[in-house]
Structure 1
Amino acid sequence: MRFKIPAIFICIILYLSSLGCEENEPLPDQVPPELSLVGFTDSTILPVEGIVTITADANDNTGISKIEFYIDNSLVFTDNNEPYEYEWDTAEHSNCALHKIKVIAYDNNLNFTGIEHYVFIVNLNLSEINVSCWYTSGINEPKLERKSDKYFGTSSCSSPSALEVNISTNEIYQEIEGFGAALTNSSAWLIDNSTRREEIMDKLFSPDSGIGINYIRLAMGSSDFVQGEHYSYAETPNDMDLSEFSIERDREHIIPVLQDILAINPDIKIMGSPWSPPGWMKTSGQFVCGSHWDSRLKTEMYSVYADYFIRFIQEYAIEGIQIHAITIQNEPLYCPWDYPGLYMPGDQQRDFIKVLGPKLAENGIDTEIVIFDHNWDDSEQTGAFDYAEVIYDDPIALSYIAGTGFHGYGNGEASMQEMVYYLDPTKAIYFTERTNFTGWTNWDQVLSHIAKYYFIDVIRYWSKNVLLWNLALDTENGPYNGGCPNCTGVVTVEDDYFEKEIDYYIIGHFSKFVQQGANRIYSNTFEGELETVAFQNPDGSLVVVTLNPGWNTLRYKINWNDMYFNHSLSPQSMATFIWEP
Structure 2
Amino acid sequence: MKMKWISTTYVEEKKQQTESESAFQPDKGTEMLAVNVYPGVEYQTFDGFGAAITEAAGHTFSLMSAEKQKQILDAYYGKDGNRYNLVRTHIDSSDFSLGQYAAMNDPEDREFRSFDLSRDEQYILPLLNRAEETAGRKMQVMLTPWSPPSFMKSNGQRVGGGSLLPEYRAFWADYICHYIKEYQSRGVNVEMITIQNEPIAVQKWDSCIYTAEEEKVFLRNFLYPAMEKNGLTDIAVNIWDHNKERVFERACDIIDEETDRMVQGVAFHWYSGDHFEGVQLVRDKFPQKKLIFTEGCVEYSRFSDAGQLENAQMYAHDIIGNMNAGMTAFIDWNLLLNKQGGPNHVGNFCDAPVMCDTDNDIVQEKLSLTYIGHFSRHIVPGAKRIGLSKYTDKLEATAFKNPDGSLVLVFMNRTNKELPIKIRLNGQVADFTLPTGAIATGILPAE
Using the size of structure 1 for normalisation, the TM-score is 0.72
User: Hey, what's the Cα distance between the residues in 2 that align with 1:374 and 1:472?
Assistant: 22
User: Hey, what's the Cα distance between the residues in 2 that align with 1:428 and 1:239?
Assistant: 36
Establish whether residue 535 from structure 1 lines up as the match of residue 400 from structure 2. yes
Establish whether residue 557 from structure 1 lines up as the match of residue 419 from structure 2. no
User: Hey, what's the Cα distance between the residues in 1 that align with 2:202 and 2:28?
Assistant: 63
User: Hey, what's the Cα distance between the residues in 2 that align with 1:436 and 1:561?
Assistant: 40
Matching residue within 277, 292, 297 for 2:164: 297
Aligned to 1:43: none
Aligned to 2:207: 341
Aligned to 2:26: 154
Count of residues in Structure 1 that have an aligned counterpart in Structure 2: 436
Letter in 2 for 1:255: L
Letter in 2 for 1:217: R
**Structure 1 pair 156/164, CA: closer, same or farther in 2 (3 Å)?**
closer
Indicate the structure (1 or 2) with the bigger Cα radius of gyration: 1
User: Hey, what's the Cα distance between the residues in 2 that align with 1:285 and 1:464?
Assistant: 37
Cα drift, residue 353 of structure 1: 0.9
User: Hey, what's the Cα distance between the residues in 2 that align with 1:523 and 1:384?
Assistant: 25
Alignment of 1:502-581 (within 5 A): 502-525=367-390, 528-581=393-446
Establish whether residue 220 from structure 1 lines up as the match of residue 87 from structure 2. no
Give % identity: 29
- Point out the more displaced range, 210-219 or 230-239: 230-239
Identify which of structures 1 and 2 has the higher relative contact order when contacts are C-alpha pairs closer than 8 Å and 6+ apart: 2
Contact 2:27 2:427 in 1 (8 A): no
Establish whether residue 447 from structure 1 lines up as the match of residue 312 from structure 2. yes
Matching residue within 480, 486, 491 for 2:354: 491
Contact 1:375 1:412 in 2 (8 A): no
Cα drift, residue 575 of structure 1: 0.3
Alignment of 1:52-131 (within 5 A): 129-131=1-3
Cα drift, residue 385 of structure 1: 3.0
Contact 1:545 1:575 in 2 (8 A): yes
Post-superposition Cα deviations, 1:206-235, rounded to whole Å, max 9, x if no partner, equal: 1x22111222211111111112x2112222
Contact 2:313 2:371 in 1 (8 A): no
**Structure 1 pair 141/534, CA: closer, same or farther in 2 (3 Å)?**
farther
User: Hey, what's the Cα distance between the residues in 2 that align with 1:527 and 1:327?
Assistant: 38
Post-superposition Cα deviations, 1:431-490, rounded to whole Å, max 9, x if no partner, equal: 1111113435452433333311x20001111110122211111111111111523x1011
Aligned to 1:242: 112
Contact 2:34 2:390 in 1 (8 A): no
Alignment of 1:376-391 (within 5 A): 376-377=244-245, 383-391=246-254
User: Hey, what's the Cα distance between the residues in 2 that align with 1:363 and 1:171?
Assistant: 41
Aligned to 1:421: 283
Using the size of structure 2 for normalisation, the TM-score is 0.92
Matching residue within 255, 266, 291 for 1:404: 266
User: Hey, what's the Cα distance between the residues in 2 that align with 1:142 and 1:579?
Assistant: 28
Aligned to 1:231: 101
Establish whether residue 203 from structure 1 lines up as the match of residue 75 from structure 2. yes
User: Hey, what's the Cα distance between the residues in 1 that align with 2:211 and 2:347?
Assistant: 21
Q: Which has the higher helix share?
A: 2
Give the gaps of 5 or more residues in structure 1: 1-128, 378-382
Post-superposition Cα deviations, 1:519-569, rounded to whole Å, max 9, x if no partner, equal: 111111456411110111111111110111211111102121221211111
Instruction: Give RMSD over aligned pairs.
Output: 2.0
Aligned to 1:111: none
Establish whether residue 308 from structure 1 lines up as the match of residue 171 from structure 2. no
**Structure 1 pair 574/539, CA: closer, same or farther in 2 (3 Å)?**
same
Contact 1:177 1:517 in 2 (8 A): yes
Give the gaps of 5 or more residues in structure 2: none
Post-superposition Cα deviations, 1:312-356, rounded to whole Å, max 9, x if no partner, equal: 2111112211111110000000121x2110001111111111122
Matching residue within 435, 458, 461 for 2:297: 435
Aligned to 1:320: 187
Alignment of 1:39-58 (within 5 A): none
User: Hey, what's the Cα distance between the residues in 2 that align with 1:558 and 1:539?
Assistant: 21
Matching residue within 169, 182, 203 for 2:52: 182
Secondary structure class of the residue paired with 1:357: helix
**Structure 1 pair 139/458, CA: closer, same or farther in 2 (3 Å)?**
farther
- Point out the more displaced range, 188-197 or 136-145: 136-145
